[in-house]
Chain A
Amino acid sequence: MNRWSSALPDDALVQRIGDRFGAGLQESSDFRGDLSVVVKPEVVVDLARYLKAEEGFDYLLYATAVDWPARDPRFTVVWEVRSLAKQARIRIKTTTAMPDPHVPSLTSVWPAASWHERETWDLFGIKFDGHPDLRRILMPPNWEGFPLRKDYVSFGEPVIFSDQKLEGLEPDAIRG
């Protein structure tokens, strides 16, 4: 059998979150055994505290974001946590919009989120309110742009010929 490490299902957990946070819980899904909840940014920290203190989710796996340019709000921010004792896993998602994408930081609940949130800021330009040390981590400090955004072109460098000027040269136009 090939389980690919699904968490044990805990249907009642979503129910408990729904009871506690009401309209703060916007959506929940169970895809291939991965439980995820979409919550409003305002309740993320409360939800995290609740999950850690009362449900035993003691271990932060990662934090990241997904860029959906056609959607509004554009960014989905994802944290995934695990309970080592219960062997359960839950994915916390929230959304944030341009032009100033920002969500609350969960470093106060899970300190391990620190570098992951820095990385998300570095590559997506999403600010984490309350993060103690939010600066670039993988890219150089003077880097411009946020590479993992979908409108950041990954191939093709602008080539400037002698009769051209840099201004007004769209990278997209060069990629062809």
Chain B
Amino acid sequence: MVKNDVRTQESFGPEHEPEAEWMELNMGPHHPSTHGVLRVRLKLDGEIVRDADADIGYLHTGFEKSFEDKTYTQGITFSDRMDYLAPPINNVGFVGAVEKLIGVEVPPRAQAIRVIMMELARVASHELWLGTTGLDLGVYSGFFYAWRDRDLALDLNEAYSGVRMMTSFTRVGGVAWDLPDGWLEQLQRFIDVMPSRIDDFESMLTNNPIWRQRTEGVGVISGEDAIEAGVTGPVLRASGVNYDVRKAFPYCGYEQYDFEVPVGKNGDCYDRYRVRVAEMRQSLRILQQAVDSLPGGPWLTSDRKVALPPRSELSKSMEAVIHQFRLVSEGFKGPVGDVYAFVESPRGELGFYLVSDGTNKPYRMKVRPPSFCNLQSLRKLVEGVLVADVIAIMGSLDFILGDCDR
């Protein structure tokens, strides 16, 4: 099997200047599997990629600037529109930064609901990745199975928040709503059916010779190189580095749940696939534990300075009306300072660096998008590979351009 070590440069002879023969190929500006809009300029020596320059920014919408004009509560709706394939995780990351800044405690039930929503999003995102990356590499039927299974997770989103994708379900100090009646039963059906669906997928791909030829030994990056390149998430773990925010710096009570962090060995596209599939199984484990141990009690903090009072109080308490008015008209203020809070998104570490000048709006909100950091490594990954492998490598990085460009 001929792989990445194909180097034809020697055959040109010593006096030949290879660069003069290189062709520049423009990939995009669309991604073949619609992960977003991306243009990659490839320098080709025959079929071999010598250099690549990713041209991003087509989906730049200035979210970081927009955050500065909105109160902390209003900003939640921006957060899920960045990485539109894992909105709940963005929601939690954003309010996590605000909660860290103002120092508010989140009730256990809200934390469990957040964990459930985040793990659902992780399963849905990995399902979509399986489908689209399979589509890139010719596994057309897999796309339909993946879409069917992802829809089950979106149905749960819809039943909980009324919206299939842009859930915006978090509030500073908790979540916006309690779980509706019958939702946990629906979630249980999801948890019960998914392992066999993942098995189906694995039986289609894991030992499929074509799939393995397209992914094994392609786009290899070592653990040290991955750290140097700033890569996180499944791409980093596939290279053998055991770093997962949920284990290393537990948030939302992840330390209560028993789960493993799947780690690869070779750091190639195949290992990234294996890591993601294994992560889906671990997510289902977390979901089952979260359902079994779901605590009761409030789902929003009782700190009236940051969270709206319940509607029933408004007709009885003048104080509640005042709090309601203050929160709706101007929101709450944060102390002066800067914090960095981060969560594990399906693509890696999603961080929010929040600078506050003491007003009710972020003075500066820098997002550390995992897609941006992972895409930066593309240049290193594609050097010396065949053009067809660029598609496999781009797919395996699982970047979302909305997340990358913000």
Contacts and interface: CB of A to CB of B under 8 A. Distances in A.
Nearest to B376: A115
Contact of B103 (A32, A80, A123, A152): A32
Interface in B325-358: 337-343, 349, 351, 353, 355
Given A4-B96, A87-B249, A112-B373, A154 B339 contact: no
Contacts of B62: 147, 154
B243 interface: yes
Contacts of B406: 138
Contacts of A147: 62, 65
A34 B227 contact: no
Nearest to A78: B353
Given A111-B228, A115-B376, A139 B251 contact: no
Interface string B41-75: 00000000000000011001010111011000000
B364 interface: yes
A60 B353 contact: no
B128 interface: no
Given A3-B250, A112-B376, A138-B57, A61 B241 contact: no
B99 A4 contact: yes
Contacts of B366: 62, 64, 78
Nearest to B404: A138
Nearest to B366: A64
B249 A5 contact: yes
Contacts of B376: 112, 114-115
B194 interface: no
Given A4-B251, A34-B340, A112-B376, A59 B230 contact: yes
A34 B101 CA distance: 11
A152 B106 CA distance: 36
B337 A31 contact: yes
Contacts of A34: 338-340
A53 interface: no
B323 interface: no
Contacts of B321: none
A4 B353 contact: no
B293 to A, nearest CB: 16
B353 A31 contact: no
B318 interface: no
B339 A31 contact: yes
Contacts of A78: 353, 366
Nearest to A150: B68
A143 to B, nearest CB: 10
Question: Chain B contact residues (Cβ within 8 angstroms of A): what range?
Answer: 35 or more
B405 A32 contact: no
Interface in A39-96: 58-62, 64, 66-67, 78, 80, 84, 87, 89, 91
B248 interface: yes
Contacts of A1: 253
B335 to A, nearest CB: 9
B351 A137 contact: no
A7 B337 CA distance: 16
Contact of A112 (B65, B68, B101, B229): B229
Q: Is the interface of A mostly helix, strand, loop or mixed?
A: loop
A115 B372 contact: yes
B69 A155 contact: yes
Contacts of A111: 228-230
B111 A89 contact: no
A147 B66 CA distance: 11
A75 to B, nearest CB: 11
B337 A32 contact: yes
A22 to B, nearest CB: 25
Contacts of A87: 248-249
A137 B57 contact: yes
B290 to A, nearest CB: 16
A36 interface: yes
14 contacts: A3-B250, A5-B251, A32-B100, A32-B101, A34-B338, A58-B227, A58-B228, A60-B230, A61-B351, A84-B227, A84-B243, A89-B340, A91-B338, A115-B373
Given A138-B57, A154-B62, 7 more contacts: A32-B100, A59-B227, A59-B230, A61-B342, A66-B338, A114-B376, A148-B364
**5 nearest CB pairs, A to B:** A112-B230, A5-B249, A138-B57, A4-B100, A62-B368
Interface of A: 1-7, 31-32, 34, 36, 58-62, 64, 66-67, 78, 80, 84, 87, 89, 91, 110-112, 114-115, 119, 123, 136-140, 147-148, 152, 154-155
Interface of B: 56-57, 60, 62, 64-66, 68-69, 96-97, 99-101, 103, 105-106, 111, 227-230, 241, 243, 245, 248-253, 337-343, 349, 351, 353, 355, 363-364, 366, 368, 372-373, 376, 405-406
